[in-house]
Amino acid sequence: MVPSLRRRLLWILLPVTVVIWVLAAVASYYDTHRELDNLLDAHLAQTGRALLEMSRHEALEQKLLSDFAGTGEVIDENIWDHELTLSKAILLQVWVNNSFLALRTKNAPLTPLTKQNAGFSEIRLHDKQWRLYAIQSDDNSIRVLVGEQKTFRHELVLKLMLQLLIPLLLSLPLLFFGVWASVAQSLAPLQRLAERLMRRKPNELRPIDDDRVPREVRPLTQALNRLVKQMRAAFDSERRFTSDAAHELRTPLAALKTHAEIALQAQDPEEQQQAVRQVVRGVNRATRLVEQLLTLARLDPDSGLTKVRPLDLFISAEAVISDEAPLAMEKNIEISLSATRGKFIDGNPDSINVLVRNLVDNAIRYTPEHGIVEIVIERDEKTHEIVLCVDDSGPGIPPEDREQVFKRFYRRLGTKPSGSGLGLSIVNRIADLHGARMSLQTAPLGGLRVEVRFPASAGTTHNKSSQQRA
């Protein structure tokens, strides 16, 4: 089961927020550590310089540089003892002439902490790491060494970070609630849109108003509007089709009922037989009408074709002529096929058979007895199209009515052959699905010519051009 969008966003945003928070905390720790190191180094250097000046002043007062040089006497180590023992994290040594120790803290050794005369360095003393700063006077007579325990620095950084992190940790629930509320608020337009759609009735097919919909949701509403438009068109077409079909079926069914009643009431056997024959003809007409209605209903919802493959139009025409031959023979109509194999198109075999059968059937029905029906299949070398022409010697269709005959159930006034007015509508629909162009013209035989131009099959066109080059 696909999780909800809200849960998916929360599962993404909350871990990302925590990771960013942790990375920011780690970066803050190292940045604070670096800044504090720089600050304490500066403080250590300042302390060293101050002690140097104080030592020079003290040494001048006691005349160490002149009166006591080499005597071994040193400044009383208890002068700063009270202050310096407040923190065991501090080391201090003051050397005079690099030969004797003038001053030190209790935790400092009697030997120099470092051989370095100036600058920062690090040593390990009493199993602890120390940060040292060395400075000496211009005449190199006094050297001051000041040290600070690094553990003290780490503890100070941790205390500062805890003071910063505790409020941040306490604010995490508020941050999570803020993320949850933000996600809920951001998804509110989708929820409102869903509620609006749920309140709609099944037959309410008006477009969705997307003026108050966020920009990111508009592609969804636009797609829904396109779907609604297609559904509305399909429903309108279905209603029109149902209404027209009911109207067209009403007449043959009423005629069947009338002829059946006549057959039941007839006393004369000849009259009864005549009524039964009328019933059979009515059933045939109704059967053909129902078949065409079902064919048209099957084609209408299609937005494309399935099971499309290259097929030879000559073979389809040959099979249809074989099926329609009995009807032509009843009317003594001469039917011929002028074509050769190899006229391939890309299409659905069943649909193409329906198209050719409707054209040939219409031509036979509207051609008077002893007439002619010709089927011609050829290739247009200029456009590389496969052209199907069905000519007859019937009455034809006047130019002013040729656009109307493609409409469903349209029949010209005075048309004698029985029919439903669906044949050319079905043919036109199948031609559209195959990307073909259909036109009505006057046939050389004097009747109607129906011309359908199909795009040639891409595969067969390529093979033919390859053979010609060879």
Report phi then psi at 305, rounded to 5: -115, 150
The tokens for 375 are 């089927």
Average confidence (pLDDT) over 406-414: 52
Q: Is residue 383, in this structure, part of any structural domain at all?
A: yes
Q: Do 392 and 384 form a contact (C-beta atoms < 8 A)?
A: no
What secondary structure does DSSP assign to 19-66, as a single string? Answer: HHHHHHHHHHHHHHHHHHHHHHHHHHHHHHHHHHHHHHHHHHHHTTTT
Helix axes 218-265, 269-299, angle to 10 degrees: 170
Q: Is residue 170, in this structure, part of any structural domain at all?
A: no
- Same domain as 289, residue 355: no
CA neighbor of 135 nearest in space, from 52, 75, 208, 78: 52
| Spatial separation of the C-alpha atoms in residues 357 and 350, rounded to whole Å | 10
- Same domain as 392, residue 263: no
- Number of independent structural domains in the chain: 3
Instruction: Specify the CATH number for the domain of residue 333.
Output: 3.30.565.10
Find the helix or strand (DSSP H, E) in which 128 lies: strand 128-136
Instruction: Look at residues 299, 328, 362 and tell me which one is the last residue of a structural domain.
Output: 299
The tokens for 48 are 């060293």
Instruction: Specify the CATH number for the domain of residue 104.
Output: 3.30.450.20
For residue 10, the model assigns a pLDDT of 79
| Spatial separation of the C-alpha atoms in residues 355 and 372, rounded to whole Å | 20
Dump pLDDT digits (tens) for 111-166: 888 888 888 888 888 888 888 989 888 878 888 888 888 888 788 878 887 887 78
Domain limits for position 459: 309-469
- Same domain as 315, residue 404: yes
- Same domain as 270, residue 134: no
- Same domain as 17, residue 145: yes
Q: Is residue 134, in this structure, part of any structural domain at all?
A: yes
Dump pLDDT digits (tens) for 355-394: 888 888 888 888 889 999 999 999 988 888 999 999 999 8
What b-and-e string marks burial along 171-183, b requiring 16 or more CB atoms within 10 Å of the CB?
eeeeeeeebeeeb
Average pLDDT, the chain: 76
For residue 339, the model assigns a pLDDT of 81
Q: Is residue 200, in this structure, part of any structural domain at all?
A: no
Whole-model pTM above 0.75? no
Taking the CA atoms of 20, 25, 30 and 36 in sequence, report the sign of the dihedral they define: positive
- Same domain as 115, residue 79: yes
- Same domain as 322, residue 278: no
- Same domain as 367, residue 262: no
Q: Is residue 167, in this structure, part of any structural domain at all?
A: no
Instruction: Specify the CATH number for the domain of residue 233.
Output: 1.10.287.130
The least confident of 28-32, 159-163, 218-222, 466-470 is 466-470
Dump pLDDT digits (tens) for 79-122: 433 334 436 778 888 888 777 787 778 788 888 888 888 888 88
Q: Is residue 235, in this structure, part of any structural domain at all?
A: yes
Q: Is residue 165, in this structure, part of any structural domain at all?
A: no
Average confidence (pLDDT) over 197-223: 77
Q: Do 443 and 392 form a contact (C-beta atoms < 8 A)?
A: yes
| Spatial separation of the C-alpha atoms in residues 450 and 34, rounded to whole Å | 91
Find the helix or strand (DSSP H, E) in which 124 lies: strand 119-125
